[in-house]
Amino acid sequence: MRGRGSPIARVVRSGVGRRRVQTVVIAVATLMAVASAVVAGSLVVATNAPFDHAFAKQNGAHLTAQFDPQKVSGARLEETGRLAGVTASGGPYPVTSIQPVDSQGGHLPSMTLAGRSGPHAEVDDLDLKSGRWAADPGEIVLSASFAGPFLKAGSTLKLSDAADAPVLTVVGFATSVARTAEAWAAPAQVRSLGSKDSPVTSQMLYRFSSAGTKGQLAADRRALTAAVPAGALVATQSYLDTKRAADAGARATVPFLLAFGVLGLAMSVIIIGSVVSGSVGTGLRRIGILKAVGFTPREVVRAYVAQALIPAGVGIVLGVALGNVLALPLLADTEQVYGTASLSVAWWVDVVVPLAALAVVGLAALLPALRAGRLRTVEAIAVGRAPRTGRGQWAHRAMGRLPLPRAVTYGLASPFAHPVRTLALLLAVAFGTVAATFAVGLTQSLNAIGAAADPEERAAVTAISGMPQGEGGGPVPGRGGGEPPPGQQAPQAPSADPAKVAAAVRAQAGTASYYGLSRVRVQVTGLSGALEASLYQGDTSDGRYEMISGRWFTAPGEAVVPTGFLERTGSGVGDTVRVTYRKAPDRKEVRTLRIVGEAFDTSDDGLHLNADMATFTGVAPQTFLIAVKPGVSAAAYAEELAAVVGPLGGEVFANPSSQEENMILLLDAMAVLLTLMLVSVAGLGVLNSVVLDTRERVHDLGVCKAVGMTPRQTLSLVLASVAGIGLVGGLVGLPLGYALHGYVLPVMGRSAGTGLPPSILDVYGTEQLALLALAGVVIAVLGALAPAGWAAKVRTATALRTE
């Protein structure tokens, strides 16, 4: 640019300083676009296989193995870390199972408590999120998923309801990506907490050279089994199960983040192109003068591109900083939802986004700048001094026939004098309406997904009566409170009489409704291996899944299955499947079930089956899922019911909020934040356009004021000039936003391996659509308020003197 004192540099500085509104609009529009891109980009990176990234960072365990210390020594277990194929190992750590009671008397879910002297290790290098590590007796560190307003550092937990039960103080929260445990304490502390029902066992953590498939991990497990005495290996947990659950939720977030990213990119191009084009259009005389004093077409182009790049550069720098600030709390929520290690904005996002933004700004400014470079000197000076007349006169004649005040019809006809600028404004408003419509539908759909989540997680209280026998006679844990901790053998099963537990639930004050549930392992013809079946008893109105198609079962012999089941078996609603249930190794029942419905259920990779408990004989409820009456505390209810069910041999606890609800809140927050940014950018585009129009017509406005136009009429004129564009932009953007919602939501569902029910897809009401159609008018009017106010307040003499 030939130095700071060169003619081009002076022209650029003059243009940037003189056109303050355009400069600010470019800077702020770029800031918003870059900030939203950084937020969206960082979240796309964070949700792109979050488990894999965190697993690698923590050197997570491919296999978590539990051994009986009575059958194998610690030295022998350490030797297993040197087996062929083992690349690293950790342990042995003493582990046991606990089900603590919080200070309010609420029973927390069963946890694996592992004894470790510190968070760091060669395998499963824990991420200590807050507080410190448990070093002294009576201290415990919990998984970060338990952290909340009612459970924080300093909180105390009792290990049972007994008056003399040990009390542990929470001193920190940590994350294990492989979920090898939910709680940690000093090794001596863990050993002291062992009991007959929850014996202390030895945990080993392994990493293998080949562990990418279930088959490879099965081979690794067989090698471990052969290396220790018979019966020493009690249980194992594969990291693939945890990975599958984490990645399924992450994949669903990518489509909507990409949708917002594309909207932001398109709007930034439109706004910046409009601003630079407007500066060229209003600066024709200045361009002619520059050429008259010796500026070449190339120098004119460079000057106008630089006038866009300078404020854009400032906006880019500020946008990167703002994007990082806004992304941090969302990434923190993402950590909690996915249970991953600490996340931060990827360094390359802070590099790629600014470079891409500079390229977009440069291209958006180049086209109108080339137009400026091609203008002839005499033509530019002549047109700049005497703006073209006659353009849009037909619109003034047509609008003048409307039964509206003259100031309003004048404003409605004004946009037709600048068709290119009007088109850019129309597109900005339309994209803003698209973003608003899409965001409203997305948040409603996400809330509907939360309401349609696993019915067991919606239950306020769970009462466990017993553990049924599954495929091969082994105990089958249930998700509704009977699931054993990761890597831990199932605890001693409750043995209460289900009928007595049901009677206690019915008699308990505060019970609104309940149903019985049992889980068994069954085999389905056409599928290899066994899958889990949920068998219901009683009134299942609160336990039903949302239906994608068909209906919920109403009698024995009917089944409801998820999308994954139908895809894997090649069946559909109305078909029959042959199901085998083994009560014991030598006893089985074979039933032919008719599929009557497709359920919205993503658990177990969609390989699940729901049916009436009477379908198979001899199955009793394992758990009772209870809804409490309004105003009844779930924790207090659980404590009172436990006093009755406990002596019978059962267990009762209040259910914590589900991770699904946390995920919904996270996605809602992202949608609202990105939408506000995009709507703000659209409003800036309106602001710039109205400023340009007002400056061009300031002399005309002075004449109108001289012949009697009041400030209120002036305000009406300016606002009417954008209200019509806003209405058209809203009517254009509404169906596009509706269609975007209809496209993105099914893609999100397919990414999660399921179809979506109508209650999630059909979320727009007629009144909402009518209001969203006016979103364009709101965006346009809000963006035009400031220049309209200036036009209304400017004095007549000042307006007549202004060019």
Name the β-bridge partners of 625.
Answer: 462, 515
Q: Residues 518, 652: one domain?
A: yes
Tell me the average pLDDT across 296-320: 80
Q: Residues 84, 174: one domain?
A: yes
- The answer to whether 527 touches 568, Cβ cutoff 8 Å, is yes
Q: Residues 325, 374: one domain?
A: yes
Residue ending a domain, choose from 361, 386, 411: 386
Whether 548 is in a domain gets the answer: yes
Residue among 93, 198, 180, 100 at smallest CA distance from 143: 180
The model's pLDDT over 226-281, given as tens digits with 9 standing for 90+, comes to 888 888 888 888 888 777 656 555 555 556 666 666 666 666 666 666 666 665 55
Q: Residues 678, 790: one domain?
A: yes
CA separation for the pair 304, 11 (Å, rounded) = 9
CA separation for the pair 319, 310 (Å, rounded) = 14
Q: Residues 596, 481: one domain?
A: yes
Residue ending a domain, choose from 386, 406, 427: 386
The model's pLDDT over 767-776, given as tens digits with 9 standing for 90+, comes to 888 888 888 8
3-state SS of 14-57?
Answer: HHHHHCHHHHHHHHHHHHHHHHHHHHHHHHHHHHCCHHHHHHHH
- pLDDT of 712 > 70? The answer is yes
CA separation for the pair 501, 386 (Å, rounded) = 91
- The answer to whether 493 touches 545, Cβ cutoff 8 Å, is no
Q: Residues 635, 774: one domain?
A: no
The model's pLDDT over 17-50, given as tens digits with 9 standing for 90+, comes to 566 767 777 787 778 778 777 777 776 666 555 6
Look at residue 2 and give its three-state secondary structure.
coil
Whether 236 is in a domain gets the answer: no
| 400: Cα separation from own chain's centroid | 51
CA separation for the pair 624, 644 (Å, rounded) = 14
Whether 224 is in a domain gets the answer: no
Tell me the average pLDDT across 613-630: 86
When pLDDT is cut at 50, 70 and 90, the band that residue 475 belongs to is very low
Q: Residues 41, 112: one domain?
A: no
CA separation for the pair 157, 167 (Å, rounded) = 6
Give the structural domain span for 350.
1-56+247-386
CA separation for the pair 158, 340 (Å, rounded) = 28
- pLDDT of 493 > 50? The answer is no
- pLDDT of 703 > 70? The answer is no
The DSSP 8-state label assigned to residue 559 in this structure reads E
The model's pLDDT over 329-362, given as tens digits with 9 standing for 90+, comes to 666 655 554 555 455 666 777 788 888 878 877 8
The one-letter code for the residue type at 401 is R
CA separation for the pair 359, 346 (Å, rounded) = 21
Q: Residues 276, 184: one domain?
A: no
Better pLDDT: 535 or 791: 535
Give 780's Cβ-side CA count (13 Å radius).
29
Whether 674 is in a domain gets the answer: yes
Q: Residues 307, 353: one domain?
A: yes
Cis amide prior to 556 (ω within 30 degrees): no
Q: Residues 473, 374: one domain?
A: no
Whether 394 is in a domain gets the answer: yes
Whether 229 is in a domain gets the answer: no
Q: What is the pLDDT of residue 37?
A: 74
- The answer to whether 734 touches 437, Cβ cutoff 8 Å, is yes
CA separation for the pair 478, 500 (Å, rounded) = 20
CA separation for the pair 486, 369 (Å, rounded) = 63
Secondary structure (DSSP) of 609-658 = EEEEGGGSTT---SEEEEEEPTT--HHHHHHHHHHHHGGGT-EEEEPPPP
Give 72's Cβ-side CA count (13 Å radius).
26
The model's pLDDT over 500-510, given as tens digits with 9 standing for 90+, comes to 888 888 888 88
CA separation for the pair 649, 642 (Å, rounded) = 10
Q: Residues 422, 512: one domain?
A: no
Whether 205 is in a domain gets the answer: yes
Q: Which residue has the tokens 């305000």?
A: 715
The DSSP 8-state label assigned to residue 483 in this structure reads P
Q: What is the pLDDT of residue 184?
A: 92
Whether 423 is in a domain gets the answer: yes
CA separation for the pair 801, 796 (Å, rounded) = 9
Residue ending a domain, choose from 368, 386, 404: 386
Using only C-alpha atoms, the chain has a radius of gyration, in whole angstroms, of 34
**Number of domains making up the chain:** 4
**Rounded to two decimals, what is the model's pTM?**
0.63
Q: What is the pLDDT of residue 1?
A: 46
Q: Residues 251, 359: one domain?
A: yes
Backbone angles phi, psi at 667, to 5 degrees: -65, -40
